[in-house]
């Protein structure tokens, strides 16, 4: 059987719409609950990821090209094909990815939305209820510490035991400060990074903040003062999220790697060379990727076969 690439794309987008509808109406639910998780522990994370969009100017150019081709081939004009979709007002749009998984990553559930933080919050409520998050013995979030993420988790999932700042995001801020203080790639910058991260890892961020005081007193103005103050303020707002000694003693993960990895795998199909997407089409493609990485692929198609 031979099919054009356009037909394959249309079939994939149509199935993506069907997946989103099945998730919304509860016909396609997570493949596990908190009771199935290792040590009845469930971890959650969320992050934003940028997807290339088709802008309105690109849409107009594409329509003009296609219209010219149809005219040459004596086909129907675009106007007879129905109202065209409006293009994006920007080259990229942030999509939001939400994940739930257990400590050994043997269970994973992921969803994505093109909506805003409120749309993400609705997904948090919906899927945490289906997963039985509230019945997990241990449940916590590991994120990059963004304010909008923390706000949604606290509003939508107040049952979480802890909110942990991804260790590597904190390290990025420390590395940036070390570059301003001592120069990128220098031995002094490397030593300062290791010293600061060693303190926060073994003793917590309050000790790290104490260690920053002499540097703030030494640098009263200029870019070094600014980067130190920025680091202090960033850590100071997240002291409860950076109690790594306590988290490690409890056996908690302190890295958001699984969520960041899913952000990459769900958008890998969308970021090929020259690819641009309508918002809804991109969301549909991510929905197909989400059920695959949630190990729901076979269950979904079996349900579709029975329904057919």
For residue 116, the model assigns a pLDDT of 95
Tell me how far apart the alpha carbons of residues 131 and 40 are, in angstroms, rounded to a whole number. Answer: 12
Under 8 Å between Cβ of 101 and 75: no
Domain ranges of the chain: 5-53+88-163+258-307, 168-242
For residue 71, the model assigns a pLDDT of 60
Residue 163 Rama label (left phi>0; alpha psi -120 to 50; beta): beta
Residue 252 DSSP SS3: coil
- Which CATH code is given to the segment(s) 5-53+88-163+258-307? 3.30.420
Q: Which residue has the tokens 């675009």?
A: 78
Phi, psi of 91 (to 5 degrees): -70, -25
Average pLDDT across each block of 10 residues of the chain; the chain has 308 residues. List them in order. Answer: 84 93 93 97 97 78 61 53 56 95 97 96 97 98 96 97 97 98 97 97 96 95 96 97 97 96 93 88 95 94 82
């Amino acid at each position: 059987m031979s099919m054009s690439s356009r037909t394959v794309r249309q079939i994939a987008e149509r199935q993506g719409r069907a997946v989103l509808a099945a998730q919304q109406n509860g016909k396609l639910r997570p493949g596990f609950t908190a009771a199935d998780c290792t040590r009845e522990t469930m971890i959650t994370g969320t992050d934003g990821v940028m997807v290339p969009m088709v802008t309105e100017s690109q849409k107009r150019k594409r329509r003009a090209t296609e219209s010219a081709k149809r005219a040459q081939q004596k086909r129907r004009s675009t106007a007879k094909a129905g109202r065209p979709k409006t293009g994006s007002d920007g080259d990229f749009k942030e999509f939001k990815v939400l994940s739930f998984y257990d400590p050994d990553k043997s269970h994973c559930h992921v969803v994505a939305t093109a909506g805003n933080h409120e749309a993400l919050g609705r997904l948090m409520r919906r899927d945490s209820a289906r997963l039985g998050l509230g019945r997990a013995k241990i449940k916590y979030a590991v994120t990059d510490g963004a304010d909008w993420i923390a706000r949604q988790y606290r509003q939508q999932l107040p049952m979480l035991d802890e909110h942990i700042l991804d260790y590597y995001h904190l390290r990025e801020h420390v590395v940036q400060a070390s570059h301003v203080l001592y120069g990128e790639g220098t031995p002094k910058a490397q030593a300062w990074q290791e010293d600061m991260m060693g303190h926060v890892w073994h003793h917590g961020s309050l000790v790290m903040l104490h260690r920053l005081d002499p540097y703030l007193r030494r640098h009263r103005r200029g870019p070094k003062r600014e980067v130190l103050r920025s680091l202090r303020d960033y850590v100071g707002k997240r002291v409860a999220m950076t109690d790594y000694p306590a988290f490690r003693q409890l056996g908690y993960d302190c890295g958001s790697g699984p969520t960041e990895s899913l952000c990459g795998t769900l958008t890998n199909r969308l970021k090929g060379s020259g690819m641009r997407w309508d918002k809804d089409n991109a969301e549909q493609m991510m929905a197909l990727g989400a059920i695959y990485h949630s190990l729901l692929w076979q269950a979904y198609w079996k349900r579709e076969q029975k329904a057919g």
